[in-house]
Each structure stands twice: as structure tokens, then as C-alpha cells.
Amino acid sequence: MIGAECLLRSLIANGVDTCFMNPGTSEMQFVAALDRVPQMRGILCLFEGVCSGAADGYARMLRRPASTLLHLGPGLGNGLANFHNARKARSPVVSIVGQHTTQHLRLDAPLSADIEAFARTVSDYVRSLERAADMGRETSAAVAAACAPPGQVATLIVPADFSWSEAGDPAAPLSGPGASCPGVFPAAVAGPNAGCVRAVASLLKSGEPAGLLLGGSTLLAPGLELAGQLASKTGARVFASRYGARLARGGGRFAPLRLPYFPEAVDSALAGLRHLILVETSSPVSFFGYPGRPGSLVPEGCAVHVLAPVEADGVAALRALVEECGAAGLTAAPVLPARRPAGVPELPAGGDLTPEAIGLTLARLLPEGAILSEEMVSSGEAVLRQLGGAAAFDLLPVTGGSIGQGLPVAVGAAVACPGRKVIALEADGSSMYTPQSLWTMARENLDVVVVILANRRYRILDIEMQRTSMQGTSTPKTGAGAMGPRANDMLDIGRPDLDWVKLSEGMGVEAVRATTAGEFIAHFAAAIKPGGPRLIEAVLAK
């Protein structure tokens, strides 16, 4: 069979049956092969950053890769920002990039580029296919690489002439760690280090102030339950990495404190710790460097210990630690309050529409098992802190900080989990990086409710403008600082105001606008009932 069909059939043989694509001339053989390989679901995205972000969201929910199909170096370049986020999320993704024919590469044609150089910025595994006969084997190797713990972007670059050349039979999965993505972690991952478990247990039993910082798989329900038992038995404080890819919340689960965004708040959260124990995460650092502040967020005098590195099975390590500490069977505490009674919050119908009001509405109306793709930036903390009493949901937060992930991640999550309601909570500025996601939601009839929090500004930059004007002190300036009208213009996304109702309807997604709390409550209650995509533009009070 020809190379394009061999590649698709090899992906299927390796358990990869979804491809988010924005193809070009070099990839037409792969597009044509979709009709001969009906097991592969091809999903068209109108911008490559939607492809890469959707593959990230898909992987976060299923812990197995989708593939992407992009066109040459510029196509990959358009997808790099969300591949960056996928890399930080440790999402397994198989990135297929078309290349010029081997003969044409010598001519330095207009679209020629160093694709490998682009790919290495976001991929831990990069291969350029050298022979059509290697198509099946190299495809299987790319899937195995993507699934290697803790998950990564694997890029396979395929010259166009190999896609129409004879390539032989598709390849079966390779053997070895991660080769078939059988779950969060492959069976070949080593169990917890017994000596390390005993050492950490001794620290927790010592009575010295200690904290557990959770990441990766430990932020899902089984890991949270174990961490809660440890907290109940030993008094350890439990924290969640701010940039973990997926966090189980609500439903009365044990709730670790998610580390705040700003370093001063992290200082307060971690104050007094003598020991910080890392489980499937790295030592915390601030998002940016600020004048007069260290980048590390570990308190002075606090020792850092690793119970499980990022590529290990942190849940197994926590389970062993629970046994060593004699905490098995204890009730996790503190536990969030039970879900509030059903119904709308007690908000005045004409009250201001604030992030807090949006959070209260979600807390009352969020469907059981919902998935929240969150990129609210400046409004995020105010909304999310209201959700402690919500029904059980999964939070997919910002991981790598590259703007424009929220809508594409929602696309991928909805494709991965068609039986679950997906809520995309998006800032208006961030939404403009990947608005093409709405078209794919409409095309695929995805069950997504998009909430655009519209404040007509890059509001987070108002705060950062002051923070970076500290001039070597540890106290931010107050007020407008030195920002003048020309600087203000760079943070203002009004004049003209974005009209998300028209933008959304123009891409096939029904939309409404809310300007008061009462309007938002009514619109959200209506939006979560039907299937298919809906958008609410929530215009925040000034």
C-alpha cells in the first residue's frame, strides 16, 4: 500500500484514531486516504493552533494521543504555541508534518523551512522519514515515544513523495514502556522507591511542618483521596501544582490548595514549611521574574524532597506512603462542603455581572461530570474559588502560559468525552488567538458551552504593568503608576469593542450576550440543557 495509507493504518494499529488537521498540498495523499481508512476520524481545524490545542485537550482527558496533520514548516509554526502548552501539560501527541518531496527540497522553494528546528522547540522526539519503506515502523515509534512517561509531543516529518510511494504493510505497536498507552502510566513503569517512601514517612511523622505538592496523575480522584488520608493522619499541608494538566474538583472531594498565581500569595501559602515533598511535579517557581524577588517559591529554610519524579507513578507512591504512615482507610480531611442545593444563586436579577457572580452561578448549575477548560486569566481566581461546593468536575487549566489554549482544549476534550458537558471559560483577549475553534465546534456539533468574560482589556497586564515597575523594591506601586495614554492603548482591546455574538454566529455557534448577573444565570441555565455548542458573551461590570 502507499505511504499515506500505511501511516493512517499504523496509527490505528497503535490505538490512535483521531487526527486534528489543517492539511496542504504536501498532505493531500493523507487526506485522500481517509476514505480508505474509515476508522480514522479526521477533524478539520481552520488554524493550526486549534489542531495542537485540541490534541492537548484530547490527551488530557483520555491519556492517549490524538494525532495532528500540519503543512510544512509554516503550518507547524502556526501550531507551536499550543504544542508548547501540550509539552508543559505532558500530553502525549503524535504530530505529523508534511514536507516537500525529496527532489523539491533541493530547490529552496518558498515554503521550505527547517522543520526539525521548529519541532525541537516543543517536541522531545523528532524524526524525518528517510524511506517510504520505513513509514509503518517510524509511525509506531512516534506513538511509542509520545506515550513514554510522562507523555510528550512526538513529531514525524514525512516528505510528500513517500506518501504516494509503495510503503508496505502497516506496523503493529512496538513493545516497551508506553508503547500502547494502556492508561495513565504503562505497566513497565517502576514502582515507588521503598527507601524514599520510608524517608518521607519519617519526615511526616516527625512533627516538623511539611507539605505535599501534587502534580500529574495525583491530581485526579484516587491521588486526592490518598493525599487527604495523609493530611488527616499526619497534619501535612497538601498543595496542587498550579500548572497540572487536569485537576479533579467538586463533588465533596478532598481539595488541596492550588498554588496561587502571584508569588506573594504563594509565600503566604507555603509560609512556615520545613519540608516540601514533590509528587509528580517540580519545585515551584514564579511565572515571571520580578524586580527584587527570587524566582524560586520554596520558602527559605525549607528542604525539598522528591517522593515521585514526574515520569513515575505518583499515585502508587502515595499509596505506599499511606500504608507506611498507617493512614489507610481514614476519612480525607479537610473535605469541601457538599454540593449546594440545586437552583440559581440568590443574586438580584439586575445585579452587576462580576466574576464572583459567574462563579456562584456555575457552583449551582454545573452538571455532574462537567469538564472546565479554563483560560480566564485575571478573572480566574475569583470564579474558581466559588466552585468548592459544585458537582464533581474536571478542571483543565493553563499549563504553559501560551495564550490561546482554552477554546482548542475544549474542542479536544469534547471530542474525547462526548458524553460529558464541556464548559470553556475564556477571557475575551485570549479568545481572539484561536476563535476558529468555534467553527470546529459547530462543524462537529460538540457539546461545549463557551463563556467569554469580556472586560475589553488585557486586564492581567494592568497588574503586571505595576508589578514590573517596582524598581527593585518588593512592594508594587499603587494606582496607575507611570502608565500614560499611549501605554494604556496597548492594554485596551476596545475601540471597537469585540462583538462575540456576531463572531460566534458567523462561525455557526448560537450566541447571546449577558450584561447583568440575572441575564447570565438565565442564559447559562438554558445553554447547558441542549447538546451542541453555545456561546455566552458575559460583559463584566467595570
Model confidence pLDDT, tens digit, residues 183-218: 333 445 667 999 999 999 999 999 999 999 999 999
Q: What is the dihedral of CA 160, 8, 441, 394, to 10 degrees?
A: -120
DSSP string covering 494-519, please?
A: -SSPP-HHHHHHHTT-EEEEE-BHHH
Give the strand pairing for 422-427 and 257-258. unpaired
SS3 label, residue 152: coil
Predicted local distance difference test score (pLDDT) of residue 332: 62
pLDDT of 350 strictly over 70: no
Beta strands in 235-363 (DSSP E): 237-240, 247-249, 257-258, 275-279, 303-308
The pLDDT assigned to 189 comes to: 65
**Average pLDDT of the residues in 316-339:** 76
| Higher-scoring residue by pLDDT: 342, 520 | 520
Query: What pLDDT does residue 272 have?
Result: 95
Q: How confident is the model at residue 340 (pLDDT cuts 50, 70, 90)?
A: very low
Provide the pLDDT confidence category of residue 224 given band limits of 50, 70 and 90: very high
Q: How far apart are the first and last CA of the chain?
A: 62
* Of 171-175, 229-233, 277-281, the least confident: 171-175
What does the pLDDT look like over 420-473, one tens digit per residue?
Answer: 999 999 999 999 999 999 999 999 999 999 999 998 877 777 777 776 664 443
What does the alpha-carbon distance between residue 124 and residue 146 come to, in Å, rounded to a whole number?
A: 9
What is the structure's pLDDT at 105? Answer: 85
Cell of 250: 467538586
Beta-carbon contacts of 156 under 8 Å, excluding residues fewer than 6 positions away, are: 94, 95, 96, 97, 127, 129, 138, 139, 142
- Predicted confidence at residue 347, as pLDDT, reads 53
d(Cα 332, Cα 318) in Å, to the nearest integer?
Answer: 13
**pLDDT for 342 beyond 60:** no
Residues 64-122 have pLDDT tens digits of: 999 999 999 999 999 999 999 999 999 999 999 999 999 988 888 898 899 999 999 99
pLDDT score for 187: 42
Q: Residue 93 in contact with residue 154, Cβ under 8 Å? A: yes
Answer whether residue 177 shows pLDDT above 50. no
- Tell me the pLDDT tens digit for each residue of 476-507: 444 445 667 887 777 887 889 899 999 999 99
Task: Please name each of the domains of the chain with its CATH number.
Answer: 3-164 (3.40.50.970), 194-325 (3.40.50.1220), 355-469+484-539 (3.40.50.970)
Of 25-39, 49-63, 177-191, 234-248, the range with the lowest mean pLDDT is 177-191
pLDDT at 175: 59
Integer Cα distance of 376 and 383 in angstroms: 9
In this prediction, residue 184 carries a pLDDT of 36
Contact yes or no for 303/274 (Cβ under 8 A): yes
Higher-pLDDT residue of 182, 262: 262
Joined grid coordinates for residue 85: 502548552
pLDDT at 166 over 60: yes
Q: What is the mean pLDDT of the chain?
A: 89
At CA 368, angle to CA 365 and CA 372, rounded to 5?
75
- Give the Cα separation of 74 and 159 in Å (integer): 15
Runs of H (alpha helix) within 185-289: 194-205, 221-234, 263-270
User: What percent of the chain has pLDDT above 90?
Assistant: 73
pLDDT of residue 172: 79
pLDDT of residue 339: 39
C-alpha cell at 102: 525529496
pLDDT for position 476 = 42
Q: How does residue 389 score in pLDDT terms, banded at 50, 70 and 90?
A: confident
* Tens digits of residue pLDDT in 405-414: 999 999 999 9
What pairs with residue 303 in β-bridges?
A: 275
